[in-house]
Structure 1
């Protein structure tokens, strides 16, 4: 006689219940019990994060915008910069001129054209690879000047316009009209008088640029000997200065006031109105007739007196 096998139904019940629930849920419970993947350590991920960050920074600064350090005081007080001081860090928009043309009043960063840099000494780079690496990194994030041959100035006139200086009120003239330039900075203890230059017709595809610190700026008036050689090709423009990002106390937008928008008729000579300039000539014409007539009468009297004596 076969003895009945002892039943373990009570013990097997939880396992059967779990198996039934697993089948109904499509195996979700078993997946939940899988061992989680082991996360990479911080020291493994850190180099990856650094590389990704610099790749993104490079793409951003190369195609969209870049932070530039202002190295000199030629754009005071719009942009602050001086040798050995903490100059402004400016965000430059690099795509704006892909959709529009540069216009007067905009502050732009540009690569110096050949006439501006032909007499410059070659740029010296450090022989130390580590130093060169950190210089490159600094230029990407705006902590070092990106290139000694990059300049920042304000556009005064564009291709086809004629610019000269100055009228009787010490204002730059473009196409016969005196500019409205509230951004000009005059340094203390220096004459508030702009250097004069003859009319220059800006070639097409180029712009005439000047610094806001008008008496301390090497710009289109002087670079390349001045004249047409001082103009800057539009193709050399890197972008438009938009925002001062550092230092915090200088944060804000960069003025792009158009000096031609409120231009006024130039004051010529001693700044007298045009009708007044004709007064001396008119007076001379009016006074000439009685003078000539009186001279003839006097001559006639002298001749008669001489005839009577004889």
Structure 2
């Protein structure tokens, strides 16, 4: 399967170069490719995931959406999960999100396990629950399912107490959103102000699109080495 997909992508590239620029443009007007170089959205998005962003914003953004957006200050691309929208109140108490005075349910699902080894082109080593494992050993984090009022849910990770587990109540300004990474203890997001290097409240107009589905995923440091592609992530819908 890996080899078939590898030559499929090569074939698409050759076809575009040889005479299908119109098709390429039509696809690009709807979907944009995006690559995950860091681990702030684990387990939803892994380091090495190559996914499509649907840039046709055919509906209003909703709580729980995974969106790609421009940083409000430096204009670089980020991907996070929308937790609160304009007019919502948002707080964190011991790692639990409190949205409009309602605590989001977090149900433990065991451990998320990965190898404690350099990942991606930046060779970043994942953060793990203590005690810190040796290189090559299992790196563990608590895996939970977080649920919004109304029933929409997603997976998230937790490594115990951290400095970002508590945040006083804030009100999201109209036309803005409050976003978090699913890897809560390894994410620089709306909990941190823009003046401190974080995201703060992000204007909705900065959204590029919704994260749609994973095209393929490379576990190694080189994206196009198909021998390291993860077999279980081809075409996976992002939720």
Q: TM-score, normalised by structure 1?
A: 0.48
Name the structure 2 match of 1:184: 156
Name the structure 2 match of 1:249: 232
CA-to-partner distance for each residue in 1:78-118, whole Å, 9 max, x for gaps? 1001xxxxx101111111x2x3110010100011112xx2x
Q: How does 1:90-239 map to 2 (within 5 A)?
A: 90-95=51-56, 97=57, 99-114=58-73, 117=74, 149-166=76-93, 170-181=95-106, 182=145, 183-187=155-159, 191=161, 194-225=164-195, 230-239=200-209
**How many residues are matched?**
164
Which has the larger helix fraction?
Answer: 1
- Match of residue 50, structure 2, among 79, 82, 89: 89
> Which entry has the higher C-alpha Rg, 1 or 2?
1
Superposed displacement of residue 71, structure 1: 1.5
CA RMSD of aligned residues (A): 2.5
Query: What 5-or-longer segments of structure 1 have no aligned partner?
Result: 1-46, 82-86, 118-147, 256-310
Name the structure 2 match of 1:31: none
Query: What 5-or-longer segments of structure 2 have no aligned partner?
Result: 1-13, 107-144, 146-154, 218-230
Question: Are positions 1:77 and 2:30 aligned together?
Answer: no
| Cα distance between partner residues in 2 of 1:242 and 1:80 | 14
RCO comparison, higher one (Cα < 8 Å, 6+): 2
Q: TM-score, normalised by structure 2?
A: 0.62
CA-to-partner distance for each residue in 1:236-267, whole Å, 9 max, x for gaps? 10111111110343121111xxxxxxxxxxxx
